[in-house]
Chain A
Amino acid sequence: MSSLILTVRESIRYRGRSGQYSWLAHRLSGLAILFFLVIHVWDTANAFFWPQAYVWSLALFKNPLFGLGEIGVMAAVLYHAFNGTRITILDFKPEWWRHQRLSSLITWTLFFLVFIPIAVLMLSAMIGHCSELASAGDSCLRIPAFSEFAQYAR
């Protein structure tokens, strides 16, 4: 535990620059994806095992709080994918290790170029959904009740 606290503190204080920031971002994005993925897989399995719970969760995930989390997962997946590609290439090409700084810069640039337009699209879908519910007298912030989906009970 003390080593964990030490790592968290030194991860922030240590000035390893580009390589260290990539390492940290890769770990954090990986953990974030895994957290989401495990919930997502067990939840989606409910489409078969427990449809009512699945349909309820679909309604819950339309809440903008989850929507923001979804945009975060998108960011994590894109960064992890691009940086993972960089790691894999450098693993097989030791002679390119001197381009550590340049390669992480390319990765970040590529990430922002792809992520920003996608985030705008996802945000506008979220806003569209909320204003649609608002004009119907409902709110996208309302937490759906499990009983609303009784028709899917088995």
Chain B
Amino acid sequence: MAAITEKTSDRMTVRRVQIEGNRERYAWLFMRLSGVAMLVLAVGHMVIQHVLNSSTNLTLQFVAVQWSSWGWKAYDIFLLWMAIPHGIRGLFNILSDYVHNPGLKRTIGILLTLFVVATVIWATIAISLFDSAMIP
């Protein structure tokens, strides 16, 4: 809980709010920065993969052509690093509105963090080690 100190003189009341730590603020800032990054990366990804190309003719061979270039690999890895933490943090923000037990909230936070780490590592390994030469 944020501590509020109040000082009342005869003319006015001054309230100072002390924020408990910086983690919440960094999380807030991350949501804005990753959001702006994804305005280009995620919307770009959607337009390139789902409009200019189409899922109706997507093949593993098409993926192999894209991931034969380190530029595309870097694009996808960067988008992955922005999107998964952004999405899970958003889920945590929503859950925080309904979970009022601090212990349960903390447990959910730890589990979601582990999920982010596992997903990001797993998918980063997949993208970086993907070898187009191995695709028939």
Looking at chain A's contact residues, the main secondary structure is helix
Q: How far is the CA of A122 from the CA of B55 in the complex (A)?
A: 9
Q: How far is the CA of A30 from the CA of B87 in the complex (A)?
A: 7
Interface centre among B32, B51, B55, B100 (most CB of A within 10 A): B55
A126 within 8 A of B: yes
Contacts of A61 in B (CB 8 A): 55, 58
Q: A-facing mask of B38-81, CB < 8 A → 1, else 0?
A: 11001100110011001111111001000100000000000010
B84 within 8 A of A: yes
List the count of A-B residue pairs having beta carbons below 8 Å apart: 108
Q: How far is the CA of A124 from the CA of B13 in the complex (A)?
A: 64
Contacts of A73 in B (CB 8 A): 46
A65 within 8 A of B: no
> With A31-B94, A48-B125 as given contacts, are A77 and B56 in contact (CB-CB < 8 Å)?
no
Contact of B43 among A48, A78, A125 (CB under 8 A): A78
CB within 8 Å of B: which residues of A? 3-4, 7, 27, 30-31, 33-34, 37-38, 41-42, 44-49, 51, 54-55, 58, 61-62, 66-67, 70, 73-74, 77-78, 81, 84-85, 88, 91, 118, 121-122, 125-126, 128-129, 151-152
18 residue pairs of the A-B complex, CB under 8 angstroms, read: A30-B87, A30-B94, A31-B91, A38-B87, A41-B80, A42-B122, A44-B123, A48-B125, A48-B127, A48-B130, A58-B58, A62-B56, A67-B56, A77-B43, A84-B39, A121-B51, A126-B56, A151-B136
Q: Which 4 A-B pairs have the closest CB atoms?
A: A45-B126, A129-B56, A48-B126, A34-B87
- Having A31-B91, A77-B43, one finds 18 other A-B pairs with CB under 8 Å, namely A4-B98, A30-B90, A31-B94, A41-B83, A44-B123, A46-B126, A48-B130, A49-B126, A55-B59, A55-B60, A58-B59, A58-B60, A62-B55, A70-B55, A73-B46, A88-B32, A121-B51, A122-B51
